[in-house]
Amino acid sequence: MTKSLKYMIALSAWLAAQPALAALNVLACEPEWGALAKELGGDKASVYVATNALQDPHHIEARPSLIARARNADLVVCTGAELEVGWLPLLQTQSGNPKIQTGQPGFFEAANYVVKLEVPRLVDRAQGDVHPGGNPHIHLSPYNIEKVATALAGRMAQIDDKEAAHYQARIRSFLERWRQAIVKWEKEGAPLKGMPIVVHHKNMSYLNDWLGMREIGELEPKPGLPPTASHLSDLLSRLGRDPAKAVVRAAYNDPQAAEWLSTRAKIPAVTLPFTVGGTDKAKDLFSLYDDTLARLLAVAK
């Protein structure tokens, strides 16, 4: 036992002596924040994204690779609003990293910087997997991205103060291009105003709020519960009276339910990237919005 203990101490000492990387180590919970961190960090930030666009962030586990990344992170950028409540707290408590504990600068929750929609009056699990703080899928409104980006750049400059000027320059450049893009998107997206749609999960609320689309039903009977045959039949008959233009799902949602409804209601099924990487074209935040709008406009006619 003493021998193994000695080995452990020697290994620890050697590992501890390894030099730290110069870059700001960022662990982003979702691809949208990873993309934002890359825009603002440039070559001064090394960004690892915990989930990919084909994963449902509600159902992630605190797996070993994430614990290791959390241990080494200088900054963790997540949505908050309990979207990652199933795994993020474990990353904080199991990683041995004081920088990313709640309340520390290394812990950034994007949802704190935006006004959230659908704050429930009744917080009860009988309503499904509701989020007490409001709808956490905040990244599909470009104004939210703007607010989060400003706050994130400030936070990065605070943690990596030697490179503060770099982050300030990056946010200025980003905001200039982003604001121009918003003007372009709002003009392009005008035909979508008032378009009635059915969504898979209540994760499109901010997109609808921005573009003026009307969400008239969900494939899930309650948030977080998988679509059931009886609920889909009810929805189909409801659409007979109040038709929708399209069934919209995120790339990580199973296509089955959307295709079922699309065939029977004779409306197109639209797959949105939902986040960066969800489709081939959605490579960064700009192209995420470009591709989202293009796919919606294709069925708006």
Partner 1 sequence: MFKRKLIALAVALALPGAALAQDADLAKIREEIRQLKGTYDQRIEVLEQRLKEAETKAGKAEQSAAKAETAATQASTRTASENSFNPAVSLILQGTYANTSQDPNTYQITGFVPSGGEVGPPKRSFSLGETELAIAANIDPYFRGVAIASLAPDGGVEVEEAYFQTLALPRGAILKGGRFFSGIGYLNEQHQHTWDFQDAPLVYKAFLGNQLKQDGVQLKWIAPTDLLLEFGVELSAGDQYPGSDRNKNGIGGNALFANLGGDIGASTAWRVGMSYLSASPNDRPYTDTDSLGGPVTNSFTGTAKLAGINGVLKWAPNGNPYYYNLKLQGEYFRLKQNGTLTYDDAGGSNVFGTVSDYFISDQSGWYAQGVWQFMPRWRVGYRYDQLNFDTLSNGIVNNALGPTAADFPVLASHSPTRNTLMFDWSPSEFSRLRLQFAQDKSRLGLTDNQVFLQYIYSLGAHGAHKF
User: Binding residues for partner 1, per CB under 8 A?
Assistant: 1, 4-5, 8, 11-12, 15-16, 18, 51-52, 54-56, 59-65, 67-69, 71-72, 80, 82, 85-87, 89-90, 92-98, 101-103, 109, 111-116, 119, 125, 129, 132-134, 224-226, 252, 254
Tokens of 22: 């110069």
To 5 degrees, how large is the angle CA 158–CA 29–CA 255? 150
Q: Which tokens belong to 39? A: 């825009």
CB 294 within 8 Å of CB 192: no
Beta-carbon contacts of residue 297 (< 8 Å; ≥ 6 apart): 188, 189, 191, 192
Beta bridge partners of 129: none
- Give which of 94, 89, 74 is closest to 28, Cα–Cα: 74
Pick 83 or 293: Cβ nearer partner 1: 83
Q: How far apart are CA 160 and CA 156, in angstroms?
A: 6
Nearer to partner 1, 86 or 196 (CB): 86
Task: Supply the minimum distance, in Å, between the C-beta of residue 48 and partner 1.
Answer: 9
Q: How far is the CB of 55 from partner 1 (least distance, A)?
A: 4
- 267 versus 279: smaller Cβ distance to partner 1: 279
Tell me the backbone φ, ψ of residue 217, rounded to 5 degrees.
180, 160
The whole-angstrom separation of Cα 230 and Cα 297 is 31
Shortest spacing between CB 168 and partner 1, in angstroms? 19
Which residues have a Cβ under 8 Å from the Cβ of 221 and sit 6 or more positions away?
Answer: 128, 227, 228, 231
Q: Which is nearer to partner 1, 60 or 299 (CB)?
A: 60
Dig out the tokens for 239 from the structure. 């659409």
Task: Give the three-class secondary structure for 2.
Answer: helix
Distance CA 167, CA 154 (A): 8
In the structure encoding, which two tokens stand for residue 140, read together? 């599909």
Minimum CB–partner distance for residue 291 and partner 1 (Å): 19
Shortest approach of partner 1 to residue 71 CB, angstroms? 5
The residue (of 206 and 286) whose beta carbon lies closer to partner 1 is 206
Q: How far is the CB of 86 from partner 1 (least distance, A)?
A: 5
Q: Which of 277/290 has CB closer to partner 1?
A: 277
By beta-carbon proximity to partner 1, the closer residue of 137 and 245 is 137
Taking CA atoms, 101 is separated from 1, 53, 63, 246, in Å, by 34, 26, 18, 43
* CB of residue 194 to partner 1, shortest distance in Å: 25
